[in-house]
Amino acid sequence: MVTRRYTFRLYPNKEQEAKMLNARRLHCYLYNACVSDRKYEWKANRKSVSYMDQQNCLPEFKECWTEYKGLHSQSLQATVKRVDFAYGAWFQGLRRKRSPNGKKRIKPSNRWRLHRKRISQLQRKCANQRKNWQHQITSEIASRYDIGVTEKLNVKGMTRKAKTSKGRRQKAGLNKSILSVGFGELNNMLTYKIEEKGGIVLKIDTKKVKPSQRCPQCGTVHKEWAELSNRYHVCDCGFESDRDYSAVMVMYNVAVGRQTGLGIHLADVDDSSTTSKTRKHTGSMKQLGQVKRQSSKLTKGAVLETPPSTK
């Protein structure tokens, strides 16, 4: 069973917005009431209040504070549960962390705190924007195609520090942009979205295939193509194209079992990298049959000798 969480963006009108803000305010009060209840019970009676204690008080609480009658009881339980989670996390933190050093403790200034808050706000906004973009782009791709071909990514290796001091700053900048796009996450999203509709995703091992160095037409590996400054690829066989485009062509050729070049057969490069093993079929029998046909076509192409490149 797959658990999926959907996130929707609401565009409420004035009235709805006021209602929701009011609900949030009430939840906030409830949260604080739960916290102070726990604190009080411990201070006065040395009694630790559990989640169930507080949950069982909710009906009574609603009788007293009638404005809570408009809120769903499960949502109130969720807020009480959040208090419980927060307490649990706090106690765990107490166990793990060392006690604070009383002498060295410096009180952070208001200005510093304000800056921290602003920075974390911006970071959160940035992360949200990225996630939104990732979902949009992967949903669009997944809605259009049943077979996805991606690279087996090694983000850790890709974002390693530059070996020589020469390109250090350049590499640092590239690393930052690799991480900021979130390739790994993009790959994951695309995979689950395509698989969910019964498609297949091939993950090609780029260490063996070298899509950015191989000529899609004749299969020759050009070491110098790996240089990032080399944006346009020209091969002796007459092939020439943009760097990214030629890399994608190699990946496509490998996926359909058509890439020429030494040892580049799908059977060789693509061991265990198909995600079909973990694939879940949610569609009809007709869809299932289609998928089967597709995958058998792919493996057949892999077993066959690679045909000469078509022009």
Contacts to Zn ion by CB under 5 A: 215, 217-218, 235, 237, 239
Which residue, 235 or 251, has its beta carbon nearer to Zn ion? Answer: 235
| Minimum CB distance to Zn ion smaller for 186 or for 235 | 235
d(CA 195, CA 201): 7
* Contact present, 69 and 62 (Cβ < 8 Å): yes
Q: What share of the chain is helix, strand, coil (3-state, %, to 5)?
A: 60, 5, 35
CB of 239 to Zn ion, least distance (A): 5
DSSP helix/strand/coil, 151: strand
Cα-flanking dihedrals φ and ψ of residue 243, to 5°?
-55, -50
Q: What is the closest distance, in whole angstroms, from the C-beta atom of residue 270 to Zn ion in the complex?
A: 22
Q: How many CB atoms lie within 10 A of CB 194?
A: 23
CB of 137 to Zn ion, least distance (A): 31
Other Cβ atoms closer than 10 A to 234: 14
15 vs 224 by CB, closer to Zn ion: 224
Q: Which is nearer to Zn ion, 51 or 239 (CB)?
A: 239
Q: Tell me which amino acid residue 80 is.
A: V
Q: Other C-beta atoms within 10 Å of 283: how many?
A: 15
Q: How far is the CB of 220 from Zn ion (least distance, A)?
A: 5
CB of 208 to Zn ion, least distance (A): 18
Which residue number, 257 or 261, has a Cβ lying nearer to Zn ion? 261
